Amino acid sequence: MTSELHPLAQDVKQHLDNPDDRFMMLVYFTVQAGQEEAFKQAFHRPLKETVKEEGNFTYRLIQQANAPTTFIVIEHWRSLADLNSHLHQPYLDELLAKVGPILAAEPKVDVFHEYVAL
């Protein structure tokens, strides 16, 4: 794993109390009308590969039923280091190259602390 923090990981780090704790993210995408299938196809490989990554608990793509150009990626990570490793995977570079031209707006990221009852 690279020790250099990806720019997104650096942004996420600012929202975490402890980078070694579990956290979740929601990444919101809006695509241009008519590009919904292309967007889903671009996510095919990342969806299959990310769930195999060490430190990933969840990586799902959902599409809003009443606004089909809106998608959300639900991510659950063991630590910031695991997210950072994910962001340096070659299939993420491929994904960004494919979806960049069909986005209608910049993606939005929300970060969530995880609280577990013990």
Assigned CATH for 7-113 = 3.30.70.100
pLDDT value at 113 more than 60: yes
For residue 62, count CB atoms less than 10 angstroms from its CB and return exposed for 0-12, middle for 13-18, buried for 19 or more.
exposed
DSSP state string for 17-74: S-TTS-EEEEEEEEB-TT-HHHHHHHTHHHHHHHTTSTTEEEEEEEE-TTSTTEEEEE
What is the pTM assigned to this prediction? 0.92
Q: How far apart are CA 60 and CA 12, in angstroms?
A: 18
Encode pLDDT of 57-69 as tens digits.
Answer: 999 999 999 999 9
Q: How far apart are CA 46 and CA 1, in angstroms?
A: 18
More confident residue, 114 or 84: 84
Interval 49-62 mean pLDDT: 97
pLDDT value at 1 more than 80: no
Do residues 99 and 42 make contact, with C-beta atoms less than 8 angstroms apart? yes
